[in-house]
Amino acid sequence: MPPERQPPSGCVTRPIIRFERGRRSEDEDRLAEEVPVAMHFDGAPFAVMMTTPADLEDFARGFALTEGKVDSMLDIADIELREVLEGIVVDVRTCRSRHGGEETSPRSTAIAGEAGSHTRRELPGRSGCGICGSRELEDVVRHPPPVAAGPTVDAGAIERALETLRTRQPINAFTGSVHAAAWALPDGTIVEVREDVGRHNALDKLIGAMLLARHDPRDGFLVITSRASYEMVTKAAIAGMTIVVAISAPTALAVHLATDCGVTLLGFARPGRFNIYSRAERIR
């Protein structure tokens, strides 16, 4: 395969029969990989997510934070990736496992509420759904605490971020089939991008990358190439992000949660236009 057609990480090529305008020909197509990734915490199974196998350590960090398993990077002692016949096992070792203690910090208690052991998942999470396996309603519809004041962003910065993002998605450029989550500074400069077949997985990967790079979530805004579901807003708020810009539509529950926790939510964002659904004072 020529170097320019070498697939990026998380992609493969497969032979196909192409039928076009009455003609049949042999060809190859570019596909995004999707594999089961078993998330373990301190050796205990928690969830199985269908994920693009790229940036999995970032995914582990972000997933651990947004699922309330850790409060910060400081709580993560080690991340172990292990390939098995069925997929990939990712084991996040927390600091409490080294000291034999229990997680009792105020923030983790607030996130978990009174669910306690109910936060354990038992079913796989599919690539289009981040809540499969949650056993109780309180595990699903979480209400994050209010976010900080955050920056004020002008429409030109949002447009710049949207334009730049088109050039920062190698997996999507190769396959045309994955979502991206990007972090932009208030002037529209994109500093981090992560991709995945699952929109929530892409966001968890981005959050994990931001944790590692020590980007302050209060110093910029989030851009996602998907609809703004309530879970995307919840994960963003848990991470401390104050502005969410979605290329597609939000859901009614997402708007409710964004309003409730102080997140500015934009939908149908395109160069030159967008809708503001909550906390419009952050957008100039």
Catalytic residue among 11, 95, 129, 261: 129
| pLDDT value for 111 | 28
* 97 compared with 190, residue with greater pLDDT: 190
The pLDDT of 208-234, averaged and rounded, is: 95
| pLDDT value for 100 | 56
Task: Print the domain residue range for 222.
Answer: 155-278
Where are the alpha helices (H) located in the chain, listed in sequence order?
56-66, 95-99, 106-112, 137-140, 155-165, 170-175, 199-213, 230-239, 252-261
Q: Do the domain assignments include residue 161? A: yes
Q: Which of 204, 216, 209 is closest to 69 using CA atoms?
A: 204
Q: Do the domain assignments include residue 62? A: no
* 174 compared with 139, residue with greater pLDDT: 174
Q: What is the CATH number of the domain that holds 238?
A: 3.40.140.10
Which residue is listed with tokens 């963003």? 236
Alpha-carbon distance of 205 to 182, in angstroms, equals 10
| pLDDT value for 143 | 82
| pLDDT value for 142 | 73
Which residue is listed with tokens 């998330």? 39
| pLDDT value for 4 | 55
Domain count, the chain: 1
- With b for 16 or more beta-carbon neighbours within 10 A and e for fewer, the 237-261 pattern comes to bbbbbbbbbbbeebbeebbbbbeeb
**pLDDT tens by residue, 45-70:** 999 999 999 999 999 999 999 999 99
Q: Do the domain assignments include residue 41? A: no
The pLDDT of 243-269, averaged and rounded, is: 96
* 271 annotated to a ligand binding site: yes
* 221 annotated to a ligand binding site: no
**pLDDT tens by residue, 9-35:** 899 999 999 999 999 999 999 999 999
Q: Do the domain assignments include residue 141? A: no
Q: Is residue 103 predicted with pLDDT exceeding 50?
A: no
| pLDDT value for 96 | 72
Adjacency order of strands within the sheet including 221-224: 190-196, 179-184, 221-224, 243-246, 264-270, 273-278
Q: Is residue 104 predicted with pLDDT exceeding 50?
A: no
* Close Cβ partners of 215 (under 8 Å, ≥ 6 residues apart): 183, 191, 192
Q: Do the domain assignments include residue 236? A: yes
* 270 annotated to a ligand binding site: yes
129 is catalytic: yes
Q: Do the domain assignments include residue 119? A: no
Q: Give the number of C-alpha atoms closer than 13 A to the C-alpha of residue 98, restricted to the C-beta side.
A: 9
Q: What is the pTM of this model?
A: 0.85
**pLDDT tens by residue, 130-155:** 555 444 545 556 788 999 999 999 99
